[in-house]
Amino acid sequence: MHLFLLLILQATAALGQIDPAHCRYALGMEDRRIKDDDITASSQWYETTGPQYARLNREEGDGAWCPEGQLEPSDSQYLQVDLGRLTFLTVVGTQGRYARNSGNEFARAYRLNYSRDGLLWKSWKNRLGNAVMEGNKNAYTSVINDLHPPIITRYVRLIPVTKLSTTVCMRVELYGCPWEDGLISYSAPEGQLMMPPGYPIASLNDSTYDGVHERRRLFGGMGQLTDGVIGQDDFLVTRQYHVWPGYDYLGWRNDSLGTQGYVEMEFVFDRQRNFTSLKVHSNNMFSRGVKIFSSVSCWFKPRLIAGWEAESVAFKTVLDDRNPSARYVTVPLNRRTAKSIRCRFYFADVWMMFSEISFQSEDTVLPTQITLEVTSTPVTEEGTMATTPKTAVNASTSDPPDDGNTPILIGCLVTIILLLVIIIFLILWCQYVCKVLEKAPRRILDEEVTVRLSSCSDTIILQTPPVPPRSGHGPTVPANTDPHYERVFLLDPQYQNPAVLRNKLPELSQSAEASACGGGYAEPDVTQCTPHQCFHSNAPHYAETDIVRLQGVTGSNMYAVPALTVDSLTRKDISAAEFPRQQLIFREKLGEGQFGEVHLCEAEGLPEFLGEGSPLPDRDGRSVLVAVKQLRADATSQARNDFLKEIKIMSRLNDPNIIRLLCVCVSSDPLCMVTEYMENGDLNMFLSQREIESTLTHANNIPSVSLSDLLHMSVQISSGMKYLASLNFVHRDLATRNCLLDRRLTIKIADFGMSRNLYSSDYYRIQGRAVLPIRWMAWESILLGKFTTASDVWAFGVTLWEIFTLCKEQPYSLLSDEQVIENTGEFFRNQGRQIFLYAPPLCPPSLFELMMRCWSRDIPDRPTFEGLYQALRPHVNQ
C-alpha cells in the first residue's frame, strides 16, 4: 500500500513546483551514483587522496580528497562535482578525513561556485550576501549547510577557505532533486521600489538573481522566481528572517515601463521541450493596487538560433476583486515546441508582482516515471521503498526500462486504481462511522475531517496524506534518507493525532505518556487537544490575518483555560466594567486587521472610573493613555465570540507583570476592550535595537541595556508566569515578542494574535490557518499537541535565550522550519542528537544551566516558574 501511494504522490508531484523543504535527497556521493569520473579537483596531494575519495561517510583510499600542499588563505583549490543534469541543490554536507582515526584534516569553512553549463561559473551567496559557509570542526562529524537560496545547477565546486596556512581534506555529499523545469535563465525588467505614504517601503527587486543587471534589465540568470519560495498574501510580509518588506516578490509599476502596459520576460531552456503550461505565482492584494496580470501572450523559438514564430499563444485571466490571496495562475501553452519563450504580461492594475514562475513540459510528466519504481524495484523491497526515498529517487533518475515491461506496467496501474477505489471507499465508510459515533452535529472543516478520520482508523489515514499544494519532486512520505535527514513532518495533519504519530515514531508507543488518542494525560493544567483543534477553538480569527504596524497594545486570546468550552459568552461572564464610550478620545491608529482596529486613545476620567487603589498606567494630566481594541461591526460571529472570550480571560488576570484589561465597551457595537498602553512596545523590538552597555555605547550614545537590566527583565517575566501558573493558565506563546514594556520599562506579558504579522517568520503555518511558534514550543506540544505549564517553562527558556542574545537572532536561526521539527523528534528520542540553542556569550553559565533545565525532555526535570523566579531573583540584587 505504501508503495502505491508513494507512486501516486510522485505522479502528482511531477506536475507541481519544486518545494525546497521536500527536495533534499542525497544525490549520490556516498552511494556512488555519482561516478568517479564526475568528481574532479584542482589538485590532489597523493594518488590516494584524489577527488574520487571525497565521498561522505566512506573510508576509501586515504579517506578523503586533499588538495596538494598546504592551503594558503589566498588559494583557490576546489573539488568539482558534475551532477550529470540540472539539479535543484538545497543542502551541502561536508566531513573531514578521519581514515580510521589516522587522519585529522578538515575544512573549517568553504565557498561554493556553480555552473549550469560547465563554462560560466558563478559564486553562491546566501540571502544576506555571505559566501563563506561554516565547515567542519573535527575529522569525523559531518556538517550540513542549507542553501538559502538554493542553487539550480549541474556543476558544483566546493572551495575550502582558510584563515591560516593549513592542510585540508574533505568528504562531501550534495542534496537536492532534479530540476524538471529545464529553465536555465530568465530575463526581466528590474524590480522596483514601492513607496506608498503610510506604509513601509517595499523593495521588489530580484535580490538573488545570478545573472547580469544591464540597462535596468536582468539577463542570463535565475533568482527569486525559481527559488521555490512563494510570497505571502500580503507582499510586505516575508518568509525569510531579517530581510526587507517585499523581499519575496519581483514587482513592477505600470507607468515605469514606458507606455507599453506590459512586462516582457524571456525564458531559455536546456533543450527543446513541448510545453503544456506555465504557472505564475502572483500577488493579488488589490486594496494596495496589486493584481494578477490581465492577459499574457507568449511567443516561441524552437532553436536558439532562429526567429520567433509568428503564431503566439494568448491567454486572458479572470480578474478577481474579491479574494486578495496570492495565487498560482496557470497559463496553457498548447504543447508548443520551444527552446526559448518570450511572454508579455499585461498589467491589470498599477502593480504586478510575481514570486515564482514554473514551466511544465511534456517530459516533466513522464508516465514512465511511475512504472520505473514498480519495475526496477523487487517486490521484496516494498518496505524499504516506502521508507527510503533514496531508493525511490535513485530509481526515478535511472534509465527507463525497456518495453518488455509494459504488461507488468499495466497490471500495476490497474492494481493502483483498484487500491484507490478501496481507499476511497474506506474513507467514506470511516467518515460515516465517525459521524454516527459522535452524534454532535458540527460543521466539518477539511482539516477536522482528517483529524477525526485518523482517530477512527490510523492505518488508512496514514496512507493518504493530503497532497500538498506545492509538492516537490520526491515522495512526501516521511522517510529515512540519512541520519541527518530523517524526514518527519509532524505538523502534517496526518500526524496531529498522537495515535497516528505512534506509527511514525514507533518509540512513542513505548512511552507511557503517549498512551492515549483522546485524553490520556490528565494533569490538572492540561488542555488536551491537537494544535489544530486548539487553534480552531481558541484562535483569534478576528485579528490573526493582517494587523500591521502595531505597538503597545494587547489582547490576550491564547491563554488556554481548561474549562473554556463556552460557545457564546454573555455579559455576566465578563467582570470588567463598562466604560462610557464617549469618554474615549481617539489619538492615533496603532494597528488594523481584518476584523478590527487598535487605537491609541485618551480615556477621560478613567482614574475616577476605576476607583481608588487601582494602579494606573502612564498619566498624561487628567486623562490616561490607553490602547483600545475594537471589533468591527461587520465581524463574523466567530470573531465576536473570540473577542468576548478574550475579554473574559483577560478580565480574570490581575498581576503587575501581566497586561491588564482596564475596562470594556460591550453594551453596544462596536465591541471594545481597553488595556494599558505600553509605550515602549514589545521586548523583541526593544532589545533588538540596543547593544550591551559598554564604554563604546556610552561614548557614541548608542541605545544600550546592561546585564542587570536583562536579568531584571527575566525576573519580571518569571514572576508574571508564576502568577499564570498559579491559576493553571497555560500561555502557549511566551516569547519576547509577547512581552510589552511601559515607560518605566516594567514588563507585562501579553499575547495577541496580531503580533503574528510582524513576526510571521517566527510562526510555522500549517495547511489551514493554524500558526505555531515552533521555535519556542516544547517537543510534547509539537508532537502531541500537549500544552502545559511545563511547556510554558520550555518557552520561557527560549525567551531567556532571546533576551541574552538581545533578540539579534531567531532561535535555531540556522535550521529551517522543517529541521526544527525534525530536531523536535530528536528531543523526544533524547539520544544526544538534538541540537540545543547555544549559550549566549552574555549569559552567565549558571543561567544557561537554568535554560538547559527548561529544555529537559522529561517534564519533572524542568523547573517550575516558582523555582525559576527564586533562582533568578538573587542575580538581580548582586
Known catalytic residues?
733
Question: Identity (one letter) of the amino acid at 553?
Answer: V
Strand segments (E) across 124-226: 133-134, 143-161, 171-178, 183-189, 193-194, 202-203, 212-214, 217-221
Query: What is the distance of C-alpha 620 from the center of its chain?
Result: 43
- Return the number of the residue (123 or 509) whose C-beta is nearest ligand NAG: 123
Question: Identity (one letter) of the amino acid at 699?
Answer: A
Pull the grid cell for residue 203: 523593495
- Return the number of the residue (247 or 328) whose C-beta is nearest ligand NAG: 247
Site for ligand NAG in 437-466 (CB under 6 A): none
Region near ligand NAG per CB under 6 A, out of 199-207, 725-733, 734-742, 746-754: 199-207
- Return the number of the residue (31 or 669) whose C-beta is nearest ligand NAG: 31
Question: Identity (one letter) of the amino acid at 605?
Answer: G
- Return the number of the residue (75 or 646) whose C-beta is nearest ligand NAG: 75
Contact of 383 with 477, CB cutoff 8 Å:
no
Nearest one of 193, 190, 287 to 233, comparing CA atoms: 287
Distance CA 631, CA 594 (A): 9
Residue 28 backbone class (left: φ over 0; alpha: ψ -120 to 50; beta: rest): left
- Return the number of the residue (255 or 573) whose C-beta is nearest ligand NAG: 255
> What binding mask, one character per residue, do residues 245-264 give for ligand NAG by CB under 6 A, x or -?
---------xx---x-x---
Query: What is the distance of C-alpha 498 from the center of its chain?
Result: 23
* Residue that has been written with the C-alpha cell 540568470 in this structure: 221
| Closest approach of ligand NAG to the CB of residue 170, in Å | 14
| Closest approach of ligand NAG to the CB of residue 721, in Å | 39
| Closest approach of ligand NAG to the CB of residue 273, in Å | 6
| Closest approach of ligand NAG to the CB of residue 178, in Å | 13
| Closest approach of ligand NAG to the CB of residue 254, in Å | 4
Q: Using CB under 6 A, pick the residue from 394, 530, 641, 799 that binds ligand NAG.
A: 394
**What one-character DSSP code corresponds to residue 578?**
B
> What binding mask, one character per residue, do residues 270-289 give for ligand NAG by CB under 6 A, x or -?
--xxx---------------
The answer to whether residue 470 forms part of the interface with ligand NAG (CB under 6 A) is no
Backbone φ, ψ for residue 211 (5° rounding): -100, -150
Contact of 166 with 60, CB cutoff 8 Å:
no
Instruction: Report how many residues bind ligand NAG under the rule CB under 6 A.
Output: 30
Nearest one of 624, 620, 640, 628 to 597, comparing CA atoms: 628
Backbone φ, ψ for residue 101 (5° rounding): 75, 10
Region near ligand NAG per CB under 6 A, out of 46-54, 201-209, 443-451, 522-530: 201-209
Q: Which residues 6+ apart lie within 8 Å of 732 measured at CB?
A: 534, 558, 559, 560, 751, 781, 787, 791, 792
Q: Using CB under 6 A, pick the residue from 10, 87, 113, 232 that binds ligand NAG.
A: 113
Nearest one of 800, 794, 868, 869 to 827, comparing CA atoms: 794
| Closest approach of ligand NAG to the CB of residue 681, in Å | 24
Backbone φ, ψ for residue 27 (5° rounding): -95, 0
Q: Using CB under 6 A, pick the residue from 2, 122, 765, 829 that binds ligand NAG.
A: 122
- Return the number of the residue (32 or 589) whose C-beta is nearest ligand NAG: 32
Contact of 250 with 357, CB cutoff 8 Å:
no
> What binding mask, one character per residue, do residues 71-110 give for ligand NAG by CB under 6 A, x or -?
-----x-x--------------------------------
Contact of 30 with 57, CB cutoff 8 Å:
yes
Region near ligand NAG per CB under 6 A, out of 59-67, 390-398, 645-653, 659-667: 390-398
**What one-character DSSP code corresponds to residue 555?**
-
Distance CA 158, CA 111 (A): 6
Distance CA 724, CA 790 (A): 12
Strand partners, 357: 280
| Closest approach of ligand NAG to the CB of residue 244, in Å | 5
Region near ligand NAG per CB under 6 A, out of 167-175, 269-277, 300-308, 747-755: 269-277
Distance CA 693, CA 847 (A): 19
- Return the number of the residue (158 or 574) whose C-beta is nearest ligand NAG: 158
The answer to whether residue 362 forms part of the interface with ligand NAG (CB under 6 A) is yes
The answer to whether residue 342 forms part of the interface with ligand NAG (CB under 6 A) is no
Distance CA 699, CA 784 (A): 51
Q: Using CB under 6 A, pick the residue from 144, 350, 577, 815 that binds ligand NAG.
A: 350
Contact of 810 with 761, CB cutoff 8 Å:
yes
The answer to whether residue 380 forms part of the interface with ligand NAG (CB under 6 A) is no
Distance CA 769, CA 546 (A): 12
Region near ligand NAG per CB under 6 A, out of 7-15, 98-106, 344-352, 829-837: 344-352
Region near ligand NAG per CB under 6 A, out of 81-89, 342-350, 726-734, 801-809: 342-350
* For residue 149, cis peptide bond before it (omega within 30 degrees of 0): yes
The answer to whether residue 203 forms part of the interface with ligand NAG (CB under 6 A) is yes
Pull the grid cell for residue 452: 477525526
Contact of 798 with 792, CB cutoff 8 Å:
no
The answer to whether residue 159 forms part of the interface with ligand NAG (CB under 6 A) is yes
| Closest approach of ligand NAG to the CB of residue 129, in Å | 8
Region near ligand NAG per CB under 6 A, out of 347-355, 421-429, 511-519, 846-854: 347-355
Distance CA 373, CA 412 (A): 11
Q: Using CB under 6 A, pick the residue from 19, 30, 227, 349 that binds ligand NAG.
A: 349
The answer to whether residue 538 forms part of the interface with ligand NAG (CB under 6 A) is no
Distance (Å) of CA 181 to CA 209, 294, 693: 17, 24, 52
The answer to whether residue 244 forms part of the interface with ligand NAG (CB under 6 A) is yes
Distance CA 353, CA 819 (A): 30
The answer to whether residue 385 forms part of the interface with ligand NAG (CB under 6 A) is no
The answer to whether residue 384 forms part of the interface with ligand NAG (CB under 6 A) is no
The answer to whether residue 157 forms part of the interface with ligand NAG (CB under 6 A) is yes
- Return the number of the residue (203 or 630) whose C-beta is nearest ligand NAG: 203
- Angle subtended by helix axes 2-13 and 367-376, to nearest 10: 150
- Return the number of the residue (305 or 440) whose C-beta is nearest ligand NAG: 305
Pull the grid cell for residue 181: 523545469
| Closest approach of ligand NAG to the CB of residue 387, in Å | 13
Distance (Å) of CA 732 to CA 490, 543, 724, 741, 820: 18, 17, 11, 20, 18
The answer to whether residue 337 forms part of the interface with ligand NAG (CB under 6 A) is yes
Half-sphere exposure (Cβ direction) of 874: Cα atoms closer than 13 Å: 6
Distance CA 739, CA 760 (A): 16
Q: Using CB under 6 A, pick the residue from 46, 117, 118, 123 that binds ligand NAG.
A: 123
Region near ligand NAG per CB under 6 A, out of 99-107, 389-397, 569-577, 860-868: 389-397
- Return the number of the residue (369 or 641) whose C-beta is nearest ligand NAG: 369
| Closest approach of ligand NAG to the CB of residue 393, in Å | 9
Site for ligand NAG in 397-426 (CB under 6 A): 398
The answer to whether residue 480 forms part of the interface with ligand NAG (CB under 6 A) is no
> What binding mask, one character per residue, do residues 4-33 give for ligand NAG by CB under 6 A, x or -?
-----------------------------x
- Return the number of the residue (33 or 652) whose C-beta is nearest ligand NAG: 33
Tell me which residues touch ligand NAG (CB under 6 A). 33, 76, 78, 113, 121-123, 157, 159, 203, 205, 207, 244, 254-255, 259, 261, 272-274, 337, 347, 349-350, 362-363, 391, 394-395, 398
